[in-house]
Amino acid sequence: MKKEKALNNFDEDIDPLKKSQTDKVVPIKLTEKSRFKFRCHKGISCFTACCSNINIVLPPYDLLRLRKRFGMTTEDFINKYCEIEILAKTLLPVITLRMQSDEKRSCPFVSPEGCSVYEDRPSNCRYYPLGMATLRKKEAESGKDEFFFMVKESHCKGFEEDKEWTVDEWRKDQEADVYDDVNRGWMDILIKKKSFGEREFPEIKNQMFFMVSTNTDYFRTFVFESSFLDTYDIPAERIEKVRTDDAELLKLAYEWLRSAMFAEETLIFKEGVLAARKEQADAVMRKVYGGKDKE
């Protein structure tokens, strides 16, 4: 059973998912090659001790995997298992798992046999007892913008076991690297938004962020049934992938979000689109000012 009390207080400035001050973070930066001893298994005395009273943020791919496991729509899954929270310092809406109302505040997916959604468990659970933090670009040394750290909680007996890993081996074994690959663009958006400080964005931008973060079906419809493909120059091969591959769809969604939220040139406009938009804007101005010069 692996879990992570969301991310923690190793460095609140660089940790966009920080939720709790109480986690036991070892304040040492780890690299992919750092070694540690750990093993978690059903016979261990603390089995499932870590699956309660935790705050787990669900990035887009985590949410998608879980809701698809249950064959549920985004809306039904969120209503049944999640909360919507405003993430501190980004002021953006994110989804967290709702703990049950029992005394321990158990995770909705924990069972006496362990994690009942193990194959689709959230990335925080995959990482545990590690965590990953992402540096803002300007703080990154030689292009390296991620590092890892250890979370040691007194109830966790996994550290007393003899199995040794490198951080890289652990991430691959837990398929945390697969989740990172799909969620990375979303994390970059959180970090970018955080760099704007407490400045609130227009509500429409928060809504776009929430739609893209939670509802891949909606975004796919938006791509294929709006003027999206007439507006942006997307290679045909990529369009075909996006049609059926959720990970590719999410990556396109993050690029669109960056352009919509931060006016970044992440997507290229088709030839003539900008000229047509300018003409439309000019026509509106002519109508408003009736051919007179603006004052």
**Which residues of this protein are in contact with ligand SF4, per CB under 6 A?**
1-3, 40, 44, 46-51, 107, 109-110, 115, 117, 121-122, 125, 128, 155-158
- CB of residue 124 to ligand SF4, shortest distance in Å: 7
Structure tokens at 77: 């899954």
8 A C-beta contact, residue 120 and residue 175: no
Nearest to 113 by CA among 55, 48, 181, 29: 48
Closer CB to ligand SF4, residue 52 or residue 206? 52
The least distance separating ligand SF4 from the CB of residue 193, rounded to whole angstroms, comes to 26
- Quick one: 110 or 132, whose CB is closer to ligand SF4? 110
* Least distance from ligand SF4 to the Cβ atom of residue 49, Å: 5
- 21, 87, 118, 159, 163 from 55: Cα distances, Å: 11, 12, 18, 22, 28
Dihedral sign from CA coordinates of 228, 257, 280, 278: negative
Q: Is 175 left (phi over 0), alpha (psi -120 to 50) or beta?
A: left
Tokens matching residue 128: 């545990």
Report the residue number, 58 or 249, with the smaller CB distance to ligand SF4: 58
Instruction: Report the residue number, 1 or 212, with the smaller CB distance to ligand SF4.
Output: 1
Amino acid at 191: I
- Smallest gap from Cβ 70 to ligand SF4, in A, equals 13
Question: Taking the complex as a whole, how short is the minimal distance between the CB of residue 46 and ligand SF4, in angstroms?
Answer: 3
Contacts for 133 with CB less than 8 Å, ≥ 6 apart: 7, 10, 11, 14, 15, 146, 147, 148, 149
* Sign of the Cα pseudo-torsion (74, 79, 80, 83, in order): positive
Closest approach of Cβ 179 to ligand SF4, in Å?
Answer: 13
Whole-number Å distance between alpha carbons of 177 and 97: 21
Question: Of 99 and 191, which has the nearer Cβ to ligand SF4?
Answer: 99
Q: Which is nearer to ligand SF4, 98 or 157 (CB)?
A: 157
Nearer to ligand SF4, 5 or 194 (CB): 5
Helix (H) or strand (E) holding 147: strand 146-151
Q: How far is the CB of 56 from ligand SF4 (least distance, A)?
A: 6
Question: What minimum distance in Å lies between the beta carbon of 47 and ligand SF4?
Answer: 5
Choice between 2 and 251, CB closer to ligand SF4: 2
Distance between CA atoms of residues 271 and 257, nearest Å: 21
Q: How many Å apart are CA 5 and CA 39, to the nearest integer?
A: 18
Whether the Cβ atoms of residue 175 and residue 66 lie closer than 8 Å to each other? no
